[in-house]
C-alpha cells in the first residue's frame, strides 16, 4: 500500500487549493475520522437485526457476512475486539468457531480467508488464535490461494483517490444505503450491509493514511511543483482525446511516437493528483495506442523500433492488465530488431554492430536506440538475464572510450563531412560515442592520423543507463569509468563533450534529450550525488557533492517558458525546435527528480 500512498500524497504537495477545469474551487479532502456516525449506526442496525431474528451472530447465519463485519468492526474508529468487548462480537466469534471444519477451513476459500482476517484483526493478543489461523492458511494454500482482504479494500480506495475525488466521496454510495436502511430497518440485506460497512471503514482507514502522509518531509519527497502543473496544463491543451498529432503539408496527423511521449509526460503527474477528467483523457490516448498496434507488434509506420519503445514506456506507466498482450508482442518485435545471429545468420560477435538495435529492421545500430530498447524490454517484462542483454553488452563496450573493453578499430564515415572516411579507434576517457567509431561531438585526431570519437554527455548517460539495465553492477570498471567521465564533465548548461572547434551551437544539440537521459541514468544507477572536482578561493582542489536531482529541478524551472513549455532555442537539431518534444523531455526528467 506504500506505493499507493506516495501516489496519493502528490495531490497535496503542490498547492492547498485545487481548481477545476472551470476555474472553480474543487472539493477539498476532509481530515480526521469520516463516516463515524454511519459506521456506528450500521453496526447498531446489524446488531438489532440479528437480535430480532434470533440469529446467533451479527451476520445472521452467514459465516462470510459475519467475518466481514467483525473485520470491519476491528478496524473502524471504535476498534472493537473480543473477548471482553460487546457481547455481539463475542457471540459472533463463537459462531464462527462452530463452523470450523476438521480440515481447518470455514467454508469456501473466500469465507475462510475472511475468517482468517477476522482472527488476525480482532484479538489483542495476536497469538490467541495462532493455531486456527495457521491451519486455515494451510488449507487456503491448497484450495484457493490468496483471497480479498481488508487491506486490499483500503488499497482500492487509495487507488481511486484523485484531485477531486477523496475517501469522503468514495464512501458516499454506502452512506446513502445506510440512510435508506435506517428509514426502513426491515429492508436491510445483511450481506449487503457487511459490504457497506467494509467500504465505509476502508474509507476511514484510507483517510487516516492520507492524514499521516501529509508530513512535510514525505510531501517534499513526492512534490509536484507549480511549474510541472503549468506544463501539464499546456500539454493537455495540445492533445485531442489523449492523442497528439504532427503537422505535415498543412495537415495534422495523429502520431504514435508523439502520443507516446505526450502520455509519458502526462503520467508523470501523480495518479492521485489527476482529476477524473484528466485520467479519462489519458486513458483514451492509451487505448488509442493499443488499438493501433501493428500485426508484427510494432507501433507506427516510420522508425518502428524508436516508436515502439516510446509507446511501450507509456503503456508500462499505465500499468493496466489490458496492456499485457500488447507489451509481449512489442517485446518480440524489439528483440527481432537486435542485430545478432537471432535476426540474421550472417551476424557474428565480431561484427561492429553486433548486439545493437537501430531505428528498425536491418538498420545500423546506435546507442540512442539501444538504451530506449533495453528500457522497453525490461518494461515489457523481459528478465535481466535474457541473452539479449548480454549481446547488447558487446555493442555497449564498443561505444565506450575504454581501451580495456573496446575492441573496435576500423573505417567509419565522418558524420559531418560528405565522402570523408575516418580511420577510427577507441579513446580511454570512459565516456561514450553514438556508435562504434562515430560521434556527433567531433573527433580527436591522433599523430598517426587515426581518429578517436569524442565522448559526449547524452551518450555517456545512455551508456550508464544501458549498463545498469543489462545488470552491470556499480563497482564494475566499465560503470566506474562512465561515472568518472560524468564527474569530470558535469554541467547542465550544455550537452558536454563537443569539440570546441565546432563552435557554440553544437554544444546545445539534443540538450533536452540530454536532461532526460541524465535523469534516467543516474536514477536507474542509484547515483545520489555527483562528486565534482572544483577549486576553492585559494585555488586548491576540492570535491563538491552535487545533489543532481535538486540541481536539475532548479535548472529546468529556471529555463521554463512563461506558457509552461520548454524549448531549445539555441539548436533545433533532432526536433528540439518543437516545444511539445522538449516539454515531454523536461517533464520526464523532472519525474526522476523526486
DSSP state of 435: B
All cell numbers assigned to 14: 503542490
Angle at the Cα of 430 (from 425 to 432), degrees rounded to 5?
65
Where residue 219 falls among pLDDT bands split at 50, 70, 90?
Answer: very low
Q: Is the pLDDT of residue 429 over 50?
A: yes
Q: Which of 174, 187, 163 is nearest to 76 (CA)?
A: 174
CA distances from 181 to 92, 98, 173, 185, 201 (A): 22, 30, 13, 5, 18
In this structure, the number of other CB atoms found within 10 A of the CB of residue 288 comes to 16
Q: Cβ(588)–Cβ(264) under 8 Å? A: yes
Cis peptide before 83 (omega within 30 of 0): yes
Mean pLDDT over residues 259-273, rounded?
A: 94
Angle at the Cα of 192 (from 188 to 194), degrees rounded to 5?
105
The full DSSP string for 3-34 is: HHHHHHHHHHHS-S--B-TTSSBPPPPPPS--
Can you give 527-566 as a three-state secondary structure string? CCEEEEEEECCCCCEEEEEEEHHHHHHHHHHHCCCCCCCC
The residues, any chain, with a CB within 8 Å of residue 103's CB and separated by 6 or more, are 135, 139
Q: End-to-end CA distance of the chain, in Å?
A: 19
- Give pLDDT, residue 508: 96
- Give pLDDT, residue 7: 45
- Is the entire prediction scored with pTM above 0.75? no
Of the given ranges (93-97, 403-407, 465-469, 532-536), which has the lowest mean pLDDT?
A: 532-536
Q: Which of 211, 285, 217 is nearest to 255 (CA)?
A: 285
Q: What is the mean pLDDT of the chain?
A: 89
Beta bridge partners of 534: 542
Beta bridge partners of 247: 252
Q: Is 306 exposed, middle or buried (0-12, 13-18, 19+ CB in 10 A)?
A: buried
Rounded Cα distance between 224 and 26, Å, is 18
All cell numbers assigned to 95: 459462531
- Give pLDDT, residue 146: 61
- Give pLDDT, residue 130: 77
Tell how far CA 590 is from the center of its chain. Answer: 13
All cell numbers assigned to 119: 482472527
Q: Cβ(489)–Cβ(496) under 8 Å? A: yes
Mean pLDDT over residues 384-390, rounded?
A: 93
351-369 pLDDT, tens digit each: 999 999 998 876 789 999 9
Rounded Cα distance between 209 and 3, Å, is 12
Beta bridge partners of 545: 531
- Give pLDDT, residue 58: 93
Q: How many residues does the chain have?
A: 594
Q: Cβ(472)–Cβ(464) under 8 Å? A: no
SS3 state of residue 510: coil
All cell numbers assigned to 299: 507501433
Beta bridge partners of 558: none
Q: Is the pLDDT of residue 391 over 80?
A: yes
SS3 state of residue 199: helix
495-538 pLDDT, tens digit each: 999 999 999 999 999 999 999 999 999 999 999 999 998 777 77
Q: Is the pLDDT of residue 564 over 70?
A: yes
- Give pLDDT, residue 122: 72
CA distances from 469 to 16, 330, 388, 392, 548 (A): 39, 18, 11, 10, 20
For helices 579-591 and 256-266, angle between their N-to-C axes, nearest 10 degrees: 40
Where residue 83 falls among pLDDT bands split at 50, 70, 90?
Answer: low
Rounded to the nearest 5°, which phi and psi values hold at 542? -145, 160
480-491 pLDDT, tens digit each: 999 999 999 999
All cell numbers assigned to 232: 501539464
Where residue 38 falls among pLDDT bands split at 50, 70, 90?
Answer: very high
Q: Which of 227, 209, 205 is nearest to 218 (CA)?
A: 209
Where residue 327 falls among pLDDT bands split at 50, 70, 90?
Answer: very high
Q: Is the pLDDT of residue 436 over 90?
A: yes
All cell numbers assigned to 319: 500499468
DSSP state of 322: G
Q: Which of 114, 169, 161, 170 is nearest to 137 (CA)?
A: 114
Amino acid at each position: 500500500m506504500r506505493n499507493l500512498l506516495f501516489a496519493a500524497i502528490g495531490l497535496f504537495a503542490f498547492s492547498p487549493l485545487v481548481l477545476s477545469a472551470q476555474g472553480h474551487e474543487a472539493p477539498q479532502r476532509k481530515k480526521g475520522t469520516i463516516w463515524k456516525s454511519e459506521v456506528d449506526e450500521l453496526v447498531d442496525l446489524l446488531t438489532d437485526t440479528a437480535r430480532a431474528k434470533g440469529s446467533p451472530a451479527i451476520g445472521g447465519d452467514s459465516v462470510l457476512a459475519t467475518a466481514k463485519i467483525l473485520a470491519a468492526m476491528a478496524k473502524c474508529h471504535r476498534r472493537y475486539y473480543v473477548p471482553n468487548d460487546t457481547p455481539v462480537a463475542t457471540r459472533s466469534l463463537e459462531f464462527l468457531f462452530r463452523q470450523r471444519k476438521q480440515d481447518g477451513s470455514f467454508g469456501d476459500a473466500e469465507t475462510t480467508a475472511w475468517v482468517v482476517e477476522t482472527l488476525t484483526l480482532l484479538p489483542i493478543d495476536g497469538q490467541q488464535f495462532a493455531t486456527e489461523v495457521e491451519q486455515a492458511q494451510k488449507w487456503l494454500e491448497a484450495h484457493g490461494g490468496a483471497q480479498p482482504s481488508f487491506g486490499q479494500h483500503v488499497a482500492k480506495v487509495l487507488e481511486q483517490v484523485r484531485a477531486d475525488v477523496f475517501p469522503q466521496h468514495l464512501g458516499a454510495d454506502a452512506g446513502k444505503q445506510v440512510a435508506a436502511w435506517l428509514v426502513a430497518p426491515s429492508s436491510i440485506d445483511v450481506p449487503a450491509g457487511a459490504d457497506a460497512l467494509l467500504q465505509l471503514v476502508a474509507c476511514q482507514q484510507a483517510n487516516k493514511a492520507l492524514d499521516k502522509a501529509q508530513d512535510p518531509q514525505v510531501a517534499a519527497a513526492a512534490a509536484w511543483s507549480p511549474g510541472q502543473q503549468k506544463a501539464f496544463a499546456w500539454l493537455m491543451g495540445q492533445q485531442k482525446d489523449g492523442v497528439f498529432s504532427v503537422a505535415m503539408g498543412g495537415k495534422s496527423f495523429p502520431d504514435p511516437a508523439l502520443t507516446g511521449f505526450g502520455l509519458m509526460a502526462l503520467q508523470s503527474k501523480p495518479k492521485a493528483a489527476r482529476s477524473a477528467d484528466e485520467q479519462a483523457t489519458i486513458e483514451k490516448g492509451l487505448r488509442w495506442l493499443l488499438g493501433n498496434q501493428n500485426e508484427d507488434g510494432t507501433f507506427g509506420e516510420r522508425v518502428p523500433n524508436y516508436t515502439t519503445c516510446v509507446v511501450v514506456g507509456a503503456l508500462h506507466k499505465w500499468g493496466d492488465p489490458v496492456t499485457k498482450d500488447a507489451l509481449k508482442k512489442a517485446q518480440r518485435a524489439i528483440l527481432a530488431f537486435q542485430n545478432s545471429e537471432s535476426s540474421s545468420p550472417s551476424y557474428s560477435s565480431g561484427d561492429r554492430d553486433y548486439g545493437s538495435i537501430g531505428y528498425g529492421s536491418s538498420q545500423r545500430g546506435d546507442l540512442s536506440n539501444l538504451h530506449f530498447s533495453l528500457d522497453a524490454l525490461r518494461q515489457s517484462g523481459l528478465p535481466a538475464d535474457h541473452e539479449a542483454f548480454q549481446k547488447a553488452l558487446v555493442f555497449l563496450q564498443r561505444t565506450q572510450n575504454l581501451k580495456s573493453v573496446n575492441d573496435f578499430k576500423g573505417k567509419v564515415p565522418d558524420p559531418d563531412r560528405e565522402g570523408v572516411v575516418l580511420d577510427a579507434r577507441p579513446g580511454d576517457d570512459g565516456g561514450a560515442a553514438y556508435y562504434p567509431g562515430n560521434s556527433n561531438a567531433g573527433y580527436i585526431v591522433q599523430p598517426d592520423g587515426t581518429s578517436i570519437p569524442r565522448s559526449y554527455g547524452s551518450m555517456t548517460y545512455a551508456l550508464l543507463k544501458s549498463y545498469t539495465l543489462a545488470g552491470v553492477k556499480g563497482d564494475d570498471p566499465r560503470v566506474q569509468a562512465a561515472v568518472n567521465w560524468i564527474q569530470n564533465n558535469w554541467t547542465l548548461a550544455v550537452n558536454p563533450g563537443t569539440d570546441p572547434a565546432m563552435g557554440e551551437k553544437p554544444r546545445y544539440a539534443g540538450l533536452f534529450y540530454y536532461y532526460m537521459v541524465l535523469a534516467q541514468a543516474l536514477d536507474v544507477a542509484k547515483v545520489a550525488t555527483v562528486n565534482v572536482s572544483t577549486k576553492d578561493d585559494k585555488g586548491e582542489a576540492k570535491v563538491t557533492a552535487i545533489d543532481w536531482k535538486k540541481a536539475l529541478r532548479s535548472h529546468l524551472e529556471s529555463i521554463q517558458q512563461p506558457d509552461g513549455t520548454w524549448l531549445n532555442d539555441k539548436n533545433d537539431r533532432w526536433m528540439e525546435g518543437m516545444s511539445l518534444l522538449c516539454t515531454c523531455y523536461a517533464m520526464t526528467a523532472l519525474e526522476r527528480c523526486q
